[in-house]
Amino acid sequence: MKVYKEIVAQARELTSSDITEQETILWRLLCYAAKMPLRKNQEELISQAQHIILQAPDTYFSGRILPFNVFKWGTGSRLILVTHGWSSKAADFTSLITALTVIENVTVVAFDAPGNGSSPGELSNLILYTEALQAIYRQFGNPDIVIGHSLGAMANMMSLEQAGIKPELLISIAPVINLKALFNNMMEAVNIPEKIRETFFERFFERFKEPASAYDLTNYTLEAASKDHWIAYDDKDAVVNTDFLIAFLKLHPAIETTLFSGTGHEKLIRQEELLQELMQRVRRILL
């Protein structure tokens, strides 16, 4: 957390005309995932898992193949995949994973995306998440149920579409819909001038060969995403703009939703009422 606070302080003072310096600081602001130590209950959960190391290519930053840590509970035939959000980790789903592992005949898989939690990597990004998910599909096969939070929910939808996988149930908690909007929100929060933001998005295009606006779930058909999709969200979410979610839902009217107003972006995954409804939906599929 100390490193992240230093990055934020640098970003708040960003007035330099040096475009390379601007880009370096802004990528660190947007893609450095602060790492928090495990609490005791989280340590206990992780100690009960089988630990597996997989790899994902980091095409756009380090240019290396990055290892990342995967955790597996159970040996059942029904596979449940859990994908954490930005600057988070598998252990942040301790309450949910503990409840899932009680169900008979399931295997639960979660992971720390490259650059997040226990996995090495200086900077992380959405593409690294999707590459990690593709590696998990190759290792464990097609999941029956996929659960994700925030950027992880967005990565789930993109990777399932790319792989042509259709789980029986897809659960998205406070999903990011529009990556450019998220980046703008993060930069506005530390008072980055509009001109510097515009220049950053020009450099984004040079690096990724696509504009940031391309990473928008309204551009995806999502025909392969799931047979059954449920989204839980907070209309007062301070991290993701719910307007983009509403626009997305208009394109996909079959998606079911539940509003947990005022819960908070990070707290949603621990909200008791949400966990109860989530488990009801999971059991409906598995039992």
Give the model confidence (pLDDT) of 254-270 as tens digits: 999 999 999 999 999 99
Domain boundaries, the chain: 1-32+179-215, 38-178+221-286
* Burial tier of 287 (Cβ tally within 10 Å: 0-12, 13-18, 19+): exposed
pLDDT number for residue 222: 78
CA distance 110 to 259: 25
CA distance 170 to 157: 9
Question: What contacts 24+ positions apart, CB below 8 Å, involve 181-184?
Answer: 181/240, 181/241, 181/244, 182/151, 182/239, 182/240, 183/30, 183/212
Give the model confidence (pLDDT) of 64-100 as tens digits: 999 999 999 999 999 999 999 999 999 999 999 999 9
Report yes or no: 114 and 133 within 8 Å, Cβ to Cβ. no
Report yes or no: 142 and 115 within 8 Å, Cβ to Cβ. no
Collapsed DSSP state (helix, strand, coil) of residue 7 = helix
Q: Does domain 38-178+221-286 have CATH number 3.30.300.30?
A: no
Per-residue DSSP letter, 178: B
Place of tokens 């090495």: 120
CA distance 253 to 179: 22
pLDDT of residue 19 exceeding 90: no
